[in-house]
Amino acid sequence: MKPARQDVRDSEGPRVVVRQTARGKGRRAPPWDEARRYSIIGWIGFILALAALSDYVLALYPLGLGSPEWELATIGSIVQGLPLFSIGLGAIWISAGGLGRRWLLIVLGWALLLLAIVAFGALAVFATDVPLALKATHGVARIGIEKLTAKTFFLGLLFGGSYVLVGVLALRQTRAV
């Protein structure tokens, strides 16, 4: 079927030819409503958080608690994976708030506060292992330990503090929902 031709004259400009198909706007997908957008954001967040959790499981296996080398490497690896996990949790938080899911905000708020405690506890264990690692290494390896230490403490404190803040905000948000 041949598209219909329609002449449109701009108020001050030249004549513009607009072609429309018989169906009009049938080729465009309808825009998503607000609930669908928030739902999709939540699912993307869930997938990102799950991907980060799978990295954590691999980092923890096999368990080597009590071994300073294992603790240093594992805690450093887990803390460096916090950005992906945090983006996922942030997306879930946005979704829960946008959809008005009070139960999810409560669960997320308490989970974030618990994660903050775990992060600060892991940093305390990490801090006990750093002097041993620095004493055992020299030269270029020592620089690597120093970089790992700086990055782990910076990210651990940043994300641990952020988890406290966002956890409290999520719990306060439940009052409005």
- Distance of CA 170 to CAs 4, 45, 107, 157, Å? 54, 16, 9, 20
Tokens of 51: 């991907």
CA 134 to chain centre: 32
Tokens of 91: 């997306």
pLDDT at 18: 56
Could you give the dihedral angle defined by the CA atoms of residues 142, 148, 151 and 157, in that order, rounded to the nearest 10 degrees?
Answer: -110
pLDDT at 30: 84
DSSP 3-state of 5 = strand
Report pLDDT digits (tens) over 99-148: 999 999 999 999 999 999 999 999 999 999 999 999 999 999 999 999 99
Q: Tell whether pTM > 0.95.
A: no
On the CB side of 64, CA atoms within 13 Å amount to: 14
pLDDT at 9: 55
Could you give the dihedral angle defined by the CA atoms of residues 103, 105, 107 and 113, in that order, rounded to the nearest 10 degrees?
Answer: -160
pLDDT at 29: 82
pLDDT at 158: 98
4 in Cβ contact with 22 (< 8 Å): yes
Which residue ranges of the chain lie beneath pLDDT 70?
1-26
pLDDT at 142: 94
Beta bridge partners of 9: 15
The domain locations on the chain are 33-176
**DSSP 3-state percent helix, strand, coil across the chain (nearest 5):** 75, 10, 20
Kindly state the helix (H) or strand (E) to which residue 34 belongs, with its residue range: helix 34-60
